[in-house]
Structure 1
Amino acid sequence: MPFHIRSLATAIMGLVGFGAAHAADVSAPPAKAEKPVTIFPAFLVNDNRVTYSYLPNGTDPGVTAKTAKQVYSFTHFDAWAYGTNLISLSLLKSDHNDPAQPCAIGRTGCSGASEFYGFVRSTFGFNQIFNTKALTVGPLHNVSLEVGADAEVENNALSPAKRVGVVGLQFAFDLPYKGFFNVAPMYYKEINHSAFIPAPYDSNQNFDSTWTIETNYYMDLGFLPDWLPLSVSGRAAWIGPKGTGTNQPGTLTRKLELNSEPIRLTLDASKAFAGAQYTHMVDVWVAYRYWQNKFGLDHNLAPQCVGTNAGACTESSVYTGVTVKF
């Protein structure tokens, strides 16, 4: 059946999130498809992209309030008869302000930490499953079951080993110029690791179940002339309080966390300079990132966020990148 393709989400996060901590670095949607692509007949869309981006003002709670990060990302998006799949894999390389471990205190010239973050989000549209249009009302386009998972490791002083599972509903709304706005309230469960937890307490963290709300939007600026193919997109994810994750006395309860990229402005460079047949083959973009209570740590009270670490739990940065479709 014809399936109105929902465009690629940008965060995630990702997004994610991107409820994901690092949303996909994807700046433009795949083309709308009414027929399966021949090389992958099961898919209405099969879209793969690589991105390089530079984040000048990243943070690492408990270590530094400022570290530049280079981010290398791969994203895959596909749509099939009953839903969509989004996979994002990112490698983040910090500068020496966020050193890899082991690195002795006071030592200079340490290599920056390397972080891997990956997530997957899958949707199953109720309109498609039940062969109906009952959930297409006004701007509401569809309601879907959404499931997903996140994973992270990093070789810094914290040594995280994050594992997350989410499940809930996604409400998809139409915007002008074939754009979209999605909102997904979901159940959220996280387990992790922290080298900051001293013996004899378990450094493996089992956080309480909580909620998350993930949102993302995308819209071409279709009112602009054809020679200026710009689009705007963004994402936000709220993660509810999730307890302490440990039995160590005196540990503060994690607070409401906001991980967002409220706006990304993308220029379809390939279309602008090579023609419409190359739409979104090469995108260049600039975005603003805002992450409050990073990892759920209270930016006003948590030891990782105050004193010599003041500002480490609020990440605020303009960053840029280039995305290539293949």
Structure 2
Amino acid sequence: MPSTELHPDSTSPQVISVRPVTLAAPLRGDDLQVRITAPTEGTDLPVIVFAHGFAQSMAAGDPLVDHWTAHGFVVVQPTFLDSAALALTPADPRHPVIWRTRVDDLERVIEELDTVIAAVPGLPGRVDTDRLAVAGHSWGGQSVGMLLGARVLGADGRPGEDRTDKRVKAGVLLSTTGLSRGDLTPFAQEHFPFMSPDFSGLATPSIVVAGDRDQSALSTRGPTWFTDVYHHSPGARHLVTLYGGEHTLGGIQDYMSTATTDESPQRVDLVRRTTTAFLLKALGIDHAAWAEVASTAHDPVGRIDSK
């Protein structure tokens, strides 16, 4: 166990969280449920739409959500159809296209941001929806990546539909799967053929976070697989590499989670500080924020590369 446990900052501003906010989605089979968390004070608040990883839900990511809201962000979290909370099975006809439905869900949230914001007492009129970012972990990284300009290669090797959303001004890509160059495992080839991204069109300013010990069971490439989006997209400006970090990046999905295999409050803190500073600069809120955090480029728990 680490010597210093990670807890919410007791000195942080008060926040309010509402869940679920239900958005009608008749063609989806289940209405879309969303959580929204926001500071109780402040105006011109920017928005982060956060996409969870496989089988998780809108309840995931509190160590990040708490930090982002403490720094003035409104965070909106949809629950996707692959969530364990919905118990969808592979026999469900929606299952093969969940990866597309995830992107549809993100677009629905963005289209209906006013409805989501209205669910929080006192929040309407205090949010700047033009300052909009997306963030995602693991499968969520691929999902939000499509709004940033990534595409999926078809069986013919050609990029598929362009889902770039110009309303999105910045992105955070956490443990995001990389290119498919014949190194997907047989299981991944059979069950996740959509894991064939093309990052050449991902031009929206983004930050990438990866662990240098994140060995996926879906690829034979090793941890560098999760850095592909940084090396192969024009929009990925920075790469944060966590020393000893595995897929949960020290435990970003929950406090004291039993699913975390690399528990480290120090790693989580670096993820929180770098992503917050990047978003503050990318959204035009605090141009000095990134310069300050970049001075930790030789942090004992990780490094920052930029291009």
Provide the TM-score with structure 1 as the length reference. 0.31
Query: If the length of structure 2 is used for normalisation, what is the TM-score?
Result: 0.32
Per residue, is there more helix in 1 or in 2?
Answer: 2
More strand by share: 1
Relative contact order, CA 8 A, sep 6+: which one is greater?
1
* Bigger Cα Rg: 1
